[in-house]
Amino acid sequence: MVKPTMLLYCSPKDVYVADMVDRTDLGDIINAMKHIEHILEICKTKDDVVRIFPLICDNFRWKGSPGSEEFAKEIWTKVLK
């Protein structure tokens, strides 16, 4: 018997829910959460994150999110000037 499970993601600006029944990528999701927790431990501000991670706009993360690439570029430009 599969126990019905959902993943809830919340941030100050966003909420997302994903049905986890019959998902085989649970390990990937757990690893992503651990990575996020590690980033939160070492980065105290958004500027810290920008200094650690390069901005790469040529991958899947920017597809289907109008305006997000320009928003990110503006943040990186302000922090790294």
| Residue carrying the six token digits 């597809």 | 63
Average pLDDT, the chain: 83
Residue 14's CB is within 10 A of a number of other CB atoms, namely: 7
CA torsion, ordered 44, 60, 67, 20, to nearest 10 deg: -70
Distance CA 73, CA 56 (A): 10
Distance CA 24, CA 39 (A): 25
Backbone angles phi, psi at 36, to 5 degrees: -60, -45
pTM, full prediction:
0.53
The string of pLDDT tens digits covering residues 33-62 is 888 889 888 998 889 989 998 888 887 667
